[in-house]
Amino acid sequence: MPGHPLRYLNADALDGLGLGIGDIVDILEDLFREKAKGELFMPPKIFFHRHGPRFYSAMASAAPALGFAGCKWQSGDPTNPARDLPYIQGLYILTEDETGQMVALMDAKWITGKRTAAASALVARQLAKTNDTQLAILGCGLQGRAHLEAIKGEVPTLTHCRAYDIMPDRQAAYVAELDGRFDVTVTGAESAEAAVRGADIIVTGGPISEKRQPTLAPEWVSPGALLITIDYDSYVTDACIAAMDLVLTDDRGQIEDARKNEGKFPGVTRVDADNAELIAHGRGRRTRDNQRILAFNLGIALEDVATAAEIYRRAEATNAGTLLEA
């Protein structure tokens, strides 16, 4: 292969680069400011279900300001842990935007885990109240773990987290592992409702289901709460969506495409702002402490390429990973 050899970075190599979730929050904030200028490129993601709960997705984008384009192919199957396989699996291909040459192949699960939590934390940076103390986590898997660290990093006043998972063993393991970490007391909840009621910030992180199972009701959500979903609208009821004072998302085009082509978000009748509008122009900001805010964090390809570009910069500087010659 002329030019650059392809650099492969597995999860261990990525861990060794010292790129923290807080670093990625800053990267994404810069990214959305750039996105507001209209100079980034991102077609709608390809997303479909097979064999019941399993999904596949392909996400591509180009960021000329960063000098890179890229594409992520991944699958997700909530039944995989019972097979001793990860729920999320995938690879990310990073390409030079000027030449189109592939320069790196990366573990997509690592990127997805970090940047999804960072994107939620970025929303919390913008919309959390200054005295928020109570966090609710629904779903005690990879994202539940990453979100506790990420949200605490942006909301240092947090002191308590109530966690709930439909699998009691996973919930118990989450509490045992994370109680006291990040100076947050973590306890298990008897139900999703018990976790949510009284929380200042709520994160729903269950599997993205082909058929919705909406249970999260508006009366569960306290005045002033920030509700962040990373599982589309799988578990939030249409009544809850309608009751929120502000509805935001990471990208208007993505949510509209999901409505038209995937049948998702039937209860979304308005979007007050997306992340680029929020960060660059201040749209969708909280104006009263008692406003209830819902943010759909779908996860977008531009977040992947921005994260991957920084990974590649660090990997080149330290010669991390494995070089694959043609």
Average pLDDT for 53-58? 91
pLDDT at site 2: 57
Sign of CA dihedral 75, 27, 235, 192: positive
The Cα–Cα gap between 58 and 91 comes to 10
Burial of 77 (0-12, 13-18, 19+ CB in 10 A): buried
Instruction: Give the 3-state secondary structure of residue 21.
Output: helix
**CB contact at 8 A, 305 and 97:** no
Average pLDDT for 222-238? 96
Share of the chain above pLDDT 90, in %: 86
CATH fold group of domain 6-111+302-324: ornithine cyclodeaminase, domain 1 (3.30.1780)
pLDDT at site 101: 96
The Cα–Cα gap between 29 and 215 comes to 32
Share of the chain above pLDDT 70, in %: 99
**C-alpha pair distances (Å), 257 with each of 7, 43, 302:** 33, 10, 16
Average pLDDT for 292-311? 97
Q: Which of 54-63, 73-82, 101-110, 223-232 has the lowest mean pLDDT?
A: 73-82
Average pLDDT for 245-255? 96
CATH fold group of domain 129-299: Rossmann fold (3.40.50)
Q: Strand order in 102-107's β-sheet?
A: 46-50, 54-63, 68-76, 88-96, 102-107, 6-9, 322-324
pLDDT at site 210: 76
User: Where exactly does CATH 3.40.50.720 map onto the chain?
Assistant: 129-299
Label residue 326 by pLDDT band (50, 70, 90): low
pLDDT at site 1: 44
Residue 68 is given by DSSP the state E
Is the pLDDT at 258 greater than 70? The verdict is: yes
236: tokens are 């939030």
Residue 5 is given by DSSP the state P
pLDDT at site 224: 98
User: Where exactly does CATH 3.30.1780.10 map onto the chain?
Assistant: 6-111+302-324
Residues 140-159 pLDDT 10s = 998 999 999 999 999 999 99
Instruction: Give the 3-state secondary structure of residue 189.
Output: coil
Residues 126-142 pLDDT 10s = 999 999 999 999 999 98
Quote the mean pLDDT of the chain.
95
